[in-house]
């Protein structure tokens, strides 16, 4: 049986309105977040208020699914959990 990697992609449509609640949920789930990368269009002509967060998750799948559901429950937030199998040797 091969191991898998859990990745979550989170799109925040309106960071100025959603950032505090998103941050609260991510802080509560900090034990399951191994890596976090946040990207946004902060400068230049394409400046908007949306953001993209990429999370590498560890721990049980149930915790990851609960986090995704909580994030999905926030207005203007879309979260997708992706399981990627590691190639066998």
Q: In this predicted structure, what is the pLDDT of residue 87?
A: 86
Q: In this predicted structure, what is the pLDDT of residue 49?
A: 76
pLDDT in tens, 6-60: 999 999 988 888 889 999 999 999 999 999 999 877 655 666 778 899 999 998 8
Domains and CATH numbers, the chain: 4-85 (3.30.70.1150)
b/e 46-81 (16+ beta carbons within 10 angstroms → b): eeebebebebebeeeeeebeebbebbeebeebebeb
Q: In this predicted structure, what is the pLDDT of residue 46?
A: 62
Give the global pTM: 0.85
How many beta carbons lie within 10 A of that of residue 87, not counting itself? 6
């Amino acid at each position: 049986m091969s191991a898998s990697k859990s990745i979550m992609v989170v799109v925040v449509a309106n960071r100025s309105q959603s950032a505090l609640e998103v941050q609260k949920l991510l802080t509560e789930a900090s034990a399951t977040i191994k890596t976090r990368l946040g990207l946004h269009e902060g400068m230049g002509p394409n400046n908007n208020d949306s953001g993209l967060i990429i999370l590498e998750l560890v721990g049980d799948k149930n915790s990851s699914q609960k986090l995704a559901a909580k994030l999905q429950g926030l207005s203007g937030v879309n979260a997708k959990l992706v399981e990627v199998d590691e190639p066998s040797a």
